[in-house]
Amino acid sequence: MTGTVALSTRAAALGGAAPRRSGLLAPRPPMGWNSWNSFATTITEAQARETAAIMASKLLPFGYDIFTVDIQWYEPNASSYEYNTAPVPAMDGYGRLIPAPNRFPSSADGSGFTRLAADVHRMGMKFGIHLMRGIPRLAVKKNLPILGTRYRAADIADTTSICPWNPDMYGVDMRKPGAQAYYDGVFKLYAGWGVDFVKMDDMSRPYDAHAPEIEGAHKAIANTGRPMMLSLSPGETPVIRGGHVREYAQMWRISDDFWDEWAMLEAQFTRLENWNPWRRPGAWPDADMLPLGRLALGKRDTKFTPDEQCTLMTLWSIARSPLIMGGDLRHLDAPTLALLTNRAVLAVNQASTDNQPHFVEDGTRIWSAKPEGAPTDRYLALFNTTDKSKMVGIGLREIGLAGGAAVTDLWSGQELPRTTSRFVQQLPPHGAGLYRLRA
């Protein structure tokens, strides 16, 4: 499902109109599921197909439409959140990573992810994969040819450019002849499989050193002619490089891996505030996946309390971060499903404008936004980041409302008493509220 059809489906799921800027790859924050939080490096084709079917049934009707297989789908012996020190990735004769056939049997005939992607498309969703920056070290060791050129892997590899946490790749020196051709060949292969979304890792640490490869990946995608979204990871892109990153990617991480720890969630407030000026349709600062439900190879459920889970979804929604579920959908419980599929909350994420933080005082965060098509209304998010119950509020004039307002609690759907000059709510520890105010 591509282009206008996909965008119209997303809008219909939220009860809104199709976006005006339909030429953009990501006119609204991307929504989907990613395998990392639940499967680490280990997901198999059978698990992927089972999960995709659940996603299509449970989440797609609410707009979650990008299904992504995360890291090391090419590693036959991947087994955990740790990486093998001497990986032997599956590759073609040009050093391009291909699915490990013992884990993805439909790829054994050399067709890559073609069949899996086609089946995901038939379910009405987009298909995404994870990709490390660079060229496989094994391809350099074998000095494999670069497709369509007289150059070889050793001619373009920068063997000093090494990811500190993953042993699979060397960087590509984009100044070398054959470097762009290598990336062109990689993305041409993946476009041929039907890939719609690429999460590209080790791209921002340090950002300036890797910027040529970011530009090279962007150019390679454009050269395929297929509209593939580019998501950059991990999250050490300096805010000062906001103008560059939003030209070359549709979304980019603003933190390192985000997990279910309150300290990590609290830190995201400041990051989202700092990145807020750089967000625009087609370019989204990404606060990372939603570690909700069953996690970590099935070993545990999220450590976030129910109130913290509400805070997570409220913050990601009002700040318009991409919404990428990370939990194991095979164990999706009713409270988690309800959290992910509240249409009124999702509309804040997908169909709001002028999203902005307001004053910050000890233990308090406040954001507001305008609903699309209703410029006199306001969305208001209140947060209590302390470990005790707290009154949190704001004057209506500070969010652009001159008089009183009718109030709807978007999480519960309940109508609250009309407010006059100031709206205040009692919030639980680490809790949040999300409201629509109608003048």
In our burial notation (b when 16+ CB lie closer than 10 A, e otherwise), range 289-327 reads: bbbbbbbbbeeebbebeeebbbbbbbbbbbbbbbbbbbb
Nearest to 70 by CA among 307, 234, 246: 234
How far from chain centre, in Å, is Cα 149? 34
d(CA 233, CA 257) in angstroms, rounded, equals: 9
Predicted local confidence at residue 194, as pLDDT:
98
Predicted local confidence at residue 20, as pLDDT:
36
d(CA 346, CA 354) in angstroms, rounded, equals: 16
Nearest to 211 by CA among 185, 175, 181, 165: 175
Predicted local confidence at residue 311, as pLDDT:
99
Kindly state the tokens that stand for 51. Answer: 């999960």
Predicted local confidence at residue 19, as pLDDT:
35
Nearest to 104 by CA among 169, 35, 171: 35
d(CA 359, CA 190) in angstroms, rounded, equals: 46
* β-strands 66-69, 31-34 pairing: parallel
Helix (H) or strand (E) holding 190, with range, is: helix 179-193
Q: What is the pTM of this model?
A: 0.94
How many helices (H) and strands (E) are present in the chain, helices listed first? 13, 21
Spatial neighbors of 307 by CB under 8 A, at least 6 apart, are 428, 429, 430, 431, 432
Predicted local confidence at residue 84, as pLDDT:
84
Q: Is the peptide bond before 167 cis (omega within 30 degrees of 0)?
A: no
Q: Where are the beta strands (DSSP E) in 178-256?
A: 197-201, 229-232, 251-253
pLDDT along the chain (439 residues), means of 10: 37 38 83 98 98 98 98 95 90 98 98 98 98 98 98 98 96 98 98 98 94 98 98 92 98 97 98 97 98 97 98 99 98 98 98 94 96 97 98 96 95 97 97 97
